[in-house]
Amino acid sequence: MRIGVVTFPGSLDDHDARRAVDLCGGESVALWHRDADLRGVDAVVIPGGFSYGDYLRAGAISRFAPVMTEVIRAAAGGMPVLGICNGFQILCESHLLPGAMIQNDHRTFICRDQRLRVESTATAWTSQFEQGEEITIVLKNQDGQFVADEPTLDRLEGEGRVAFRYLGENPNGSYRDIAGITDERGTVVGLMPHPEHCVETGFGPSLDGRRFFTSVIERVVSA
């Protein structure tokens, strides 16, 4: 089970995502932004960070990197793709997921241990959670406010495509407390919090991040 992790200039959590994949039983594969080559991986993680310095708009430049052309093509063919934080922003910019991310409503960066509710287990990355389960995942972002127009939000909710919601005080003003969403097929998932920081005892507030990776590994192995 090979999971690719993309590195853009300015990616920050790429090493952490690779570590998380390996700790959870997968084999991580480094993917380079300039290479239009997914190196035969079975799934892709687009990690957090400030790719291209978030210039223009978070994710706006990365979306045009050669590797993204391949990711978009593979996603259309059903390959599981997880976008974390900046990765979520890139997936929105790539139109693999609807909506957009703008600056947190309080206009400051926020780093905290965030409680989430699992709203959908019907995705490639969440099958090992319980529906409605409360989990704690590290949240850290500057541009984490998920926004979309009302019909889009209604459609996401109506189709069960909200994957995670924030619990407690909404940390960034995201509409309808949405922390993560999925595409129609349930293979592409984007979320603001960072599961790769919740995979090791003593290095994060929980181990809840592990099941993102074990979910996709199980899915691909059993497919």
Partner 1 sequence: MSALDTVTHAEQTPETDQPWADLGLKADEYERIREILGRRPTSAELAMYSVMWSEHCSYKSSKVHLRRFGELPDETPLGKTLAGIGENAGVIDIGQGWAVTFKVESHNHPSYVEPYQGAATGVGGIVRDIMAMGARPIAVMDPLRFGAIDHPDTARVLPGVVKGIGGYGNCLGLPNIGGEIVFDDCYQGNPLVNALCVGTLRHEDLHLAKASGVGNKVILFGAKTGGDGIGGVSVLASETFDEGGPTKRPAVQVGDPFAEKVLIECCLELYAAGVVDGIQDLGGAGLSCATSELASAGEGGMQVELDRVPLRDSTLRAEEILMSESQERMMAVVAPGQVEDFMTITDRWDVEATVLGEVTDSGRLVITWHGETIVDVPPRSVAHDGPVYERPFARPDWLDALQADTTDSLTRPEPTQMGQVLLDLLASPNLCDRSWVTDQYDRYVLGNTAAAMPADAGMVRVDEETGLGVAVSTDCNGRFGRLDPYAGAQLALAESYRNVATSGALPLAVTDCLNFGSPEDPAVMWQFERAVAGLVDGCRDLGIPVTGGNVSFYNQTGETAIHPTPVVGVLGVIDDVAKGVSAGFAAAGQPVLVLGETRDELDGGEWAHALHGHLGGVPPRVDLAAEKALAEVFVAAVRAGVLTSAHDLSDGGLAIALAESVLRHGVGASVDLAPLLQRDGIDAVTALLSESTARAVVTVRDEDALATLAGLAQEHGVPMARVGVTGGERLRVTDVLDLPVEQLREAHAGTLRRHFA
The per-residue DSSP string of 166-220 comes to: E-SS-SS--GGGEEEEE-TTS-EEEESSBGGGSSSTTSSS-STTHHHHHHHHHHH
Rounded to the nearest 5°, which phi and psi values hold at 100?
-155, 165
2-7 vs 43-46, strand pairing mode: parallel
Binding to partner 1 (CB under 8 A) within 164-193 occurs at none
Q: Is 222 helix (H, G, I), strand (E, B) or coil?
A: helix
With binding defined as CB under 8 A, does residue 204 bind partner 1? yes
CB of 25 vs partner 1, minimal distance in Å: 17
What DSSP character marks residue 108?
S
Contact stretch for partner 1 (CB under 8 A) within 14-22, 62-70, 117-125, 158-166: 14-22
CB of 109 vs partner 1, minimal distance in Å: 5
Q: Which of 150, 202, 222, 223 binds partner 1 (CB under 8 A)?
A: 202
Q: What residues are annotated to the active site?
A: 85, 194, 196
CB of 16 vs partner 1, minimal distance in Å: 4
Binding to partner 1 (CB under 8 A) within 77-116 occurs at 106, 108-112
With binding defined as CB under 8 A, does residue 15 bind partner 1? yes
Contacts of 23 (CB under 8 A, 6+ apart): 199, 200, 210, 213
Contact stretch for partner 1 (CB under 8 A) within 53-61, 88-96, 148-156, 184-192: 53-61
**Contacting residues toward partner 1, per CB under 8 A:** 9-10, 12-13, 15-16, 19-20, 49-50, 52-55, 106, 108-112, 138, 140, 142, 194, 196-197, 200-204
